[in-house]
Each structure stands twice: as structure tokens, then as C-alpha cells.
Amino acid sequence: MFIDEKTEFIQSPLNYTGGKYKLLQQILPLFPKDIDIFVDLFCGGCNVGINVQSEKVILNDINKNLIKLFETFQSLGEKTFDLIDEIILEYDLSQSAQYGFGYYHTTGTRGLSFYNKDKYLKLRNDFNNAKVKDTKYYIMLYVLIVYAFNNQIRFNRQGEFNLPAGKRDFNNSIRQKLRRFIEAPAWGKCEFSSYDFRNFDISRLTKDSLVYVDPPYLITCASYTEKGGWGSRDELDLLKFLDKLQNKGIRFALSNVLRCKGQENIILSEWLADNADKYKIINLKSNYNYASYSTKFKKFVTKEILVLNY
């Protein structure tokens, strides 16, 4: 894939934690040019998978709601927007693209959460109590994400979407981002699955395949590590999985962080040292901004890397 400074990548319509959009300029040129099957094993928002040139793309993530949402986008195509607009009208949510902020007696800085709050909570309650998980259900999820705090995705332990209303709505920028995503050339080649990486079937992969692995980072402050969603056992199992790919002659690329906020991923460091003759380490210019954490930790360097076995 030829990439220069003017290359325009397709950006995910989801504000997904750890998204790699800002690193695509560094990552994609390192991928092989002859990929038959590209596997985005922890696809998240799909910033990588949607921009890769290959014969087939498999988007996998353990979050079943996320995968079902992508499948819904693919099946509906252009009709996605009709259903989004219907839900916005049904719940009387704001439409700043059509009416402007002045119509709601607010500004872009103040935002729209005060107007949308009760309407958004009604939508959230209906979604969480839905008995049937059909096409509308997953588009309701997308509308929730768009109108949620920081456009994020978060479910509690009971499986309920639990973010409060945010400042933004389905504005022209988000609408165009979704349109470009749905119309992306790679989208029609995508298959979807929702497996824990330990159970992902690699039997169909060949020496011309590439497995891209962007797991939760063991030493970052993301919510999935704070809640015990990714621990040392997971990290060790993932490294064994990568060794298995190596032994079967299947190419992989691993995104991870060696150092962050004064911490070091010892498990990863030792694995890399033990396999120094097999795996190549590429240092990336990190795009992380820890907001309120940034001042406290600004003296520490985040070392983000890409590990290749080819």
C-alpha cells in the first residue's frame, strides 16, 4: 500500500479507546503488500482493518454488541442513515446540523447535553430493556454512542449501556465519517466474528495472511485494565498465541506499549528478549494524551511499539 503525507485514511465512526487512526501513517507501510487474509483480532473501532488492502478482511472482537453493530452497518448500507434519523426523530433528540445550536439556546462550547438528557435516558432505558435484538436495536446502540459522553462505548457488569448524555449529536462531521466508513472499498470484503483470541480459528490462514493484534494494554489506564478485564494471564496467553502463529509460519503484527507513565510491561519485555532472534521491534511515535493525567506524567515517555515476525 503506497502511503504519503496526503493519503486520506478512513476513520472509524466510533470513538474507541486505543484507536489507531493517528498511527496509520506509521503502521500501514510496515504491512506486507501481498495479504490474502487480514485478521484484525481485536478490531475495536476498525481503524486498521478498514484501511488495509487485502483479498479478505476478518474483523474480530470479543464485544458481541460491537460486532453486531458492524454487521448491521454492512447489511443496511445506505439505509443505515434512514433508520438513524427515524430514531432521532422518535426520541426528539437534537439535530444541530439541521437547526444549529441557536435553535436549542446553546453554543457549540456549552453543547447539547442539557437538551438531550431526558430524551437520551429514555432511549438508553428502552435499549437496555429491549427483548428483541434486531436491526433497530443495534442502530439504537449507535445513536446512543453518538449522543453519549465523549461518543464512547461502555456497558456495566449487567450488560447495560450506562454512559450519560454528551455534548454532541449526529452532526455533519459524524454523519460524513459514518458514510465514508460504510462506503469504504474494504467494507464489502469484511467478515465478522466475536471470539476470545484463544478460540480464534487460524486453520484457514496461510503464509500470505497477516494477523494484526492490538490488545488491551496491560500498563495503561484504560477502563478494561482497571476493572480487571485484561491481566497478566491474558498477556501471557496472547504471547503464546503469537508464538503459535510463528510456529505455523503465519505473519503477525503486534501493537503494544513497553513503557507508560513510569511503568514497564515486564512480561512483554522478557518475551521480546527471549525471542530477539525471531521478532523485530519498531518504535512508533505515540499519539497518547492522558488528559488530566498528562501533567502528572509528562516527564515519563510512552514507548509504543509494533512487533513483527516477518
Please give the full DSSP string across 59-128, using - where no structure is assigned.
EE-S-HHHHHHHHHHHHHTTHHHHHHHHHHHHTT---HHHH-SGGGT--TTT-SHHHHHHHHHHHHHHHH
What domains are defined for the chain? 21-62+195-308 (3.40.50.150), 67-179 (1.10.1020.10)
pLDDT of residue 4 exceeding 90, the answer is no
More confident residue, 170 or 5: 170
pLDDT-derived band at 167, boundaries 50, 70, 90: very high
Task: State percent of the chain over pLDDT 90.
Answer: 81
pLDDT-derived band at 6, boundaries 50, 70, 90: low
pTM for this prediction: 0.89
Nearest to 195 by CA among 63, 286, 287, 37: 63
Ranges of beta strands (E only) in 164-209 are: 190-193
H-type alpha helices, the chain: 24-27, 64-76, 79-90, 96-99, 113-128, 135-147, 172-182, 223-226, 232-247, 266-274, 292-297
Cα radius of gyration rounded to whole Å, the chain:
20
Integer CA distances (angstroms), 88 to 76, 82, 113, 120, 148, in order? 17, 10, 14, 10, 13
pLDDT of residue 288 exceeding 60, the answer is no
Residue 273 class from Cβ within 10 Å (0-12 exposed, 13-18 middle, 19+ buried)? Answer: exposed
Cβ 119 vs Cβ 91: under 8 Å: yes
pLDDT of residue 293 exceeding 50, the answer is no
Give the pLDDT of residue 261.
77
Cell of 202: 487460524
pLDDT of residue 300 exceeding 80, the answer is no
Angle at 15 between CA 285 and CA 11, to 5 degrees: 70
Cell of 224: 478494561
Q: Which residues pair with 2 in a beta bridge?
A: none
pLDDT of residue 228 exceeding 80, the answer is no
Cα separation, 234 vs 210, whole angstroms: 21
Cell of 207: 503464509
Nearest to 244 by CA among 283, 280, 201: 201
pLDDT in tens, 174-187: 999 999 999 998 88
Give the pLDDT of residue 238.
98
Cell of 49: 482493518
